[in-house]
Structure 1
Amino acid sequence: MDKRILIPTDFSKNALNAARYALDLYANLNCEFYFLNVFSLDSYTTKSLFLPEPGSTEYEMAKAKSEASFLKLLDIFKQHHDNPKHSFHTISTINFLSEALKQTIVEKDIELLVMGTQGASGTKGIIFGSNTVNAMEKITECPLLAVPQNVKFSPPKEIVFPTNFKSTFKRRELVYLIEIAKMHETAIRLLYVSKKQDLTELQETNKLLLEDIMQSIEHSFHNLTEKDVSDGITSFVESRNSDMIAFINHKHFFFSSVFSKPLVKEIGYKAIVPILALH
């Protein structure tokens, strides 16, 4: 069965960049790409409890504008990403973004969600837009790959996987990470950031389980003594010029520490890397 990937777009350069990254990352797999545009009406405000109905002049004009933009987008892909392994579908809808994403994921049996980290109205200097962060929190039905706007695709040679070894790992949680690693012969660097380097018995057991799951791909374990987890991850990624960060979002595990400072702001950070949030 073809891999099904959902990419929301507002037709900004950032959204286009995220789409191109996904097309290149999965260039060797048979994939169905679903592009979702949630359009809005100028007269509609969020104070209203009702979304405008199809059939109204304003609704139909907005939908037609969305569909016209999709024709231009597909033309770009035809010229620059003509891959017989890939097929494209477009969805234009009026809805709240989070609801539209969840609905499409269920209806189309989506396996991966790919989002740019800034929309057309993104604030300069902030890497993760609120839509992407909200999706990382709320979308639990499938993994999410967040692609920063300045990152161009090159085959990932190294993915950093931060973990505290406190949760028991399941193979199915890591299947997408291992798939990417096998496709591109990528090494996984398992990073433990803590003031205490000694592991408990439970952590040691979980580490052995993780090593067993990773045995089919190149991997290595690394320790960093840092007070701040996000600082440790950031410095590790920077020092090694790593290509991606992946983590399992166990009950928002790591969420506040990873997505608050250093990692989500462009502070002396030349190559912000994509982040794969697994569930």
Structure 2
Amino acid sequence: MKKKILLPTDFSKNAWNAIEYAIELYKNETCDFYILNAFNATGYALESMMVPEPGEKLFEEAKEKSEQGLSKILERLSFKDEYPNHKFYMVSQFNSLLEAIKDVVDKQDIQLIIMGTKGSTDAIDVVFGSNTVLVMEKSRSCPVMAIPEDAVYKDLQEIVFPTDYKLNFKQRELQDIIEVAKISDASIRILHASDGDALDEDQENNKKLLQEYFEGLKYSFHTLYNLDASSAVRCFVESRESDMIAFFNRKHSFFGSIFSRPMIKSLGRYAKVPVLALHDLRN
């Protein structure tokens, strides 16, 4: 079964690192990679609300810069011919990044987005760039994997999956963590940050569902006490040198969920670990 993966790029070092990570992670899989650059023409005054048209100087200059950047990426990829089951498609689009991503995801039936955590213009102390957080929040139709700029691909040993067991997961919503665990033979470490209270009946049932879904995979349950979710994940990942964090991004509650903006920042500072945002597919 062919996998369709979208790789947004702004031609930064971090974006190229994310492309390399994606290629290595899916090295044994048949994949179509769509490398997207969303460009816009700077120089138009915002108050004029004018949108440059094809043929106009600013538009054509921006378009040429985008296409030249993608050509350079394609040239670099041509030296990576060790994976003949990979195909690459370059997409240059005049649009905002989020709208361009939504468009390509819809038109090409993309199954996963893999992108860097920082853009070319982000400040050095911003771990997850605003674009990455925006895509994680708003691109609801497929999961997003964010690759920190210092993350170097190595064979995955374990994926940390934090949960409070309060959500009744559907198997299809966990398909990507299951797939990544299978293709890399990684273990899934299910982590619960507890305040000391026993799990209630619903939580126990949801825990049993996870056992069903992860059957046939290597997995284990872990509990850390008297730590908030953010600190629990950070301590766990640091102490075990885990390779990836997967979390469930609940609809309408990204910043209130287990993986909040402060947590993104604290994780990013202490761990050079890719993050897989799975999405609530229910209305």
TM-score clears 0.5: yes
Relative to structure 1, is the Cα distance of residues 18 and 201 closer, same or farther in structure 2, using a 3 angstrom cutoff? same
Q: Which amino acid aligns with 1:60?
A: E
Query: Partners in 1 of 2:78 and 2:167 — Cα distance?
Result: 44
1:39 Cα deviation from its structure 2 partner: 1.3
Name 2:24's counterpart in structure 1.
Answer: 24
1:274 Cα deviation from its structure 2 partner: 0.5
The count of residues paired between Structure 1 and Structure 2 equals 278
Gaps of 5+ in 1: none
Name 2:234's counterpart in structure 1.
Answer: 234
1:229 Cα deviation from its structure 2 partner: 1.1
The answer to whether the 8 Å contact 1:126/1:265 transfers is no
Relative to structure 1, is the Cα distance of residues 199 and 227 closer, same or farther in structure 2, using a 3 angstrom cutoff? same
Relative to structure 1, is the Cα distance of residues 212 and 266 closer, same or farther in structure 2, using a 3 angstrom cutoff? closer
SS of 2:239's partner is helix
Name 2:14's counterpart in structure 1.
Answer: 14
The answer to whether the 8 Å contact 2:137/2:254 transfers is no
Q: Which amino acid aligns with 1:64?
A: E
Name 2:160's counterpart in structure 1.
Answer: 160
Name 1:132's counterpart in structure 2.
Answer: 132
Gaps of 5+ in 2: none
Relative to structure 1, is the Cα distance of residues 236 and 266 closer, same or farther in structure 2, using a 3 angstrom cutoff? closer
1:80 Cα deviation from its structure 2 partner: 3.5
Name 2:273's counterpart in structure 1.
Answer: 273
Relative to structure 1, is the Cα distance of residues 136 and 47 closer, same or farther in structure 2, using a 3 angstrom cutoff? farther
- In the TM superposition, 1:198-277 aligns within 5 A as 198-252=198-252, 255-256=255-256, 257-261=258-262, 263-265=264-266, 269=270, 271-277=271-277
Deviations 1:182-209 (A, max 9, x none): 1111000000112134100000011001
The answer to whether the 8 Å contact 2:117/2:149 transfers is yes
Deviations 1:85-111 (A, max 9, x none): 111111111111111111111011000
Does 1:68 find its partner at 2:68?
A: yes
SS of 1:235's partner is helix
Relative to structure 1, is the Cα distance of residues 48 and 226 closer, same or farther in structure 2, using a 3 angstrom cutoff? farther
Query: Partners in 1 of 2:14 and 2:125 — Cα distance?
Result: 14
Query: Partners in 2 of 1:208 and 1:215 — Cα distance?
Result: 11
Relative to structure 1, is the Cα distance of residues 94 and 46 closer, same or farther in structure 2, using a 3 angstrom cutoff? farther
Deviations 1:99-130 (A, max 9, x none): 11111110110000111000111211221000
| 129-138 or 35-44, which deviates more | 35-44
Name 2:183's counterpart in structure 1.
Answer: 183
Does 1:83 find its partner at 2:77?
A: no
The answer to whether the 8 Å contact 1:125/1:265 transfers is no
Name 1:149's counterpart in structure 2.
Answer: 149
Query: Partners in 2 of 1:80 and 1:197 — Cα distance?
Result: 52
1:44 Cα deviation from its structure 2 partner: 2.8
Query: Partners in 2 of 1:265 and 1:224 — Cα distance?
Result: 18
SS of 1:115's partner is strand
The answer to whether the 8 Å contact 2:6/2:113 transfers is yes
Name 1:4's counterpart in structure 2.
Answer: 4
Name 2:105's counterpart in structure 1.
Answer: 105
1:47 Cα deviation from its structure 2 partner: 4.5
User: Cα RMSD (Å) of the superposition?
Assistant: 1.8
SS of 1:37's partner is strand
1:45 Cα deviation from its structure 2 partner: 4.6
Name 1:121's counterpart in structure 2.
Answer: 121
| 24-33 or 191-200, which deviates more | 191-200
Query: Partners in 1 of 2:277 and 2:255 — Cα distance?
Result: 10
With the length of structure 2 as denominator, give the TM-score of the two structures.
Answer: 0.93
The answer to whether the 8 Å contact 1:117/1:147 transfers is yes
Name 1:58's counterpart in structure 2.
Answer: 58
| 259-268 or 132-141, which deviates more | 259-268
The answer to whether the 8 Å contact 2:196/2:226 transfers is no
Deviations 1:205-262 (A, max 9, x none): 1100111110110000001113421011111110110000001112255644523335
Structure 1 residue runs of 4 or more that deviate by more than 6 Å after TM superposition: none
SS of 1:5's partner is strand
Query: Partners in 2 of 1:249 and 1:141 — Cα distance?
Result: 12
